[in-house]
Amino acid sequence: MSIQTQTIFEAGMKYLEQGYSIIPVGKDKRPLLKSWKEFQSRVPTEDELLQWLKEFPEANIAIVSGRVSNVTLVDIDTKGGQAQADEILKKFPVTFTVQTPSLGYHLYYLY
């Protein structure tokens, strides 16, 4: 297992331990599984995570939002840049927030 794969595995395991449903995604954030919708109603196993990382060694991990993970995600992306995203962010209740590489935000709320 490469260092990248090991790190992604460790992150995936932390998500699974917290009860989140996850799927492998490419650098473009698109699911790498042809049929990933089953993970909208169930959490994958550790063995499935290992298999995905063998099959897709460059994969990232995405949390499946909604009832299965008890998470609702608000994605703030604007063409107006960070200043515009910051203004939009102020309109939402305070929550766990992650800044994205595109200088937008992901806001996480309980489902």
Q: What does the domain layout of the chain look like in residue ranges?
A: 3-63, 71-110
pLDDT tens sequence across 37-90: 999 999 999 999 999 999 999 999 999 999 999 999 999 998 888 899 999 999
Which amino acid would we find at residue 63?
I
Does the pTM exceed 0.95? Answer: no
CATH number of the 3-63 domain = 3.30.720.160
pLDDT tens sequence across 25-45: 999 989 999 999 999 999 999
Q: Which backbone phi and psi does 74 adopt, to 5 degrees? A: -110, 125
Is residue 91 a contact partner of residue 62, using CB atoms and an 8 Å limit?
no
